[in-house]
Amino acid sequence: GKPFVPKAAAPELPREEEVTLEPELEEALANATDAEMCDIAAILGMYTLMSNKQYYDAICSGNITNTEGINSVVQPDRYRPVPDEPPNPTDVEETLRQLQANDPALEDVNLNNIKVAVPTCPQGDGSHPRVSVPVPRAVAEMLEENQTLQSLNLESNFITSAGMLRVLAAMRSNRGLRELRVDNQSQRLGDTVEMAMAAMLEQCPQVLRFGYHFTLQGPRARAATAVTRNNELR
């Protein structure tokens, strides 16, 4: 084999490059544990010596939080289960009745996250048979008559594109609603509906807040401009 050649000793640092600390600091660093050195490195901004979790745990706490040191194995955060939201307690049938009756005491309606099937709204009087009307149509007819409702939340439901267009068309006859939220329906509403949403906001200056995540840049920009203008006018 090859003859053994010892490695050359590391050259000593020039005297001008040597760092001399206070005696107290020298003693503290000499006796510091690996975990304490990790926290010191984080405080000094040497984030490349540790994982992101170790770094942020160190700088966000006034105490020594890293108990494993710089060379520890990166471990994920413990999973924290989040309980499901409680069902929406809104009585849908009673709410629709109040809406159709134009009840001035009803100013805020939240039909978001309804766990049970939303019933259809009965219509008719004593001399005619009662027929079932889909909820979007019932809501649209309410919006054409009701002028006291301030906020309406229809998020996370099963409204189709046709039903949403009916609701948006009814908004042109309404002058009281200030907030309308219709995001997260069971199916994609489509480009035509998004264009109708932007047009509704431009034609309804009373609407100050509109809850929907646009997928098209054009309607999104028109809607943002219209909502800003409506708030300025208000």
**What is the pLDDT at residue 230?**
93
Alpha helices (runs of H) in 2-45, residue ranges in sequence order? 23-30, 34-43
**What is the pLDDT at residue 136?**
83
* DSSP class per residue in 174-231: -SS--EEE----SS---HHHHHHHHHHHHH-TT--EEE---SSHHHHHHHHHHHHHHH
Do 140 and 169 contact (CB within 8 A), yes or no?
A: yes
192: its two tokens = 């035509």
Phi-psi region of 144 (alpha: psi -120 to 50; beta: other; left: phi over 0): alpha
* Residue 158: how many other CB atoms lie within 10 Å: 13
Is 92-124+131-233 CATH 1.10.10.10?
no
Domain residue extents for the chain: 23-61, 92-124+131-233
Across 26-40, b (16+ Cβ under 10 Å) vs e yields eeeeeeeeebeebbe
**What is the pLDDT at residue 80?**
79
Tens-of-pLDDT digits for all 234 residues of the chain?
788 888 887 777 676 666 666 777 777 777 777 667 777 776 666 666 666 666 666 666 555 555 555 555 555 667 778 787 777 788 877 887 787 777 888 878 887 766 555 554 444 444 343 334 477 888 888 888 888 889 999 888 888 899 999 999 999 888 889 999 999 888 888 899 999 999 999 999 999 999 999 999 999 999 999 999 999 998
Cα–Cα distance between 134 and 99 in angstroms, integer?
14
Identify which of 55, 77, 79, 76 has the alpha carbon closest to the alpha carbon of residue 66: 55
Cα–Cα distance between 136 and 193 in angstroms, integer?
14
How many CA atoms within 13 Å lie on the side-chain side of 82?
Answer: 1
Q: Tokens 């035509």 identify what position?
A: 192
Secondary structure class of 74 (helix, strand, coil)? coil
- Between vectors from CA 195 to CA 193 and to CA 196, what angle results, nearest 5°? 60
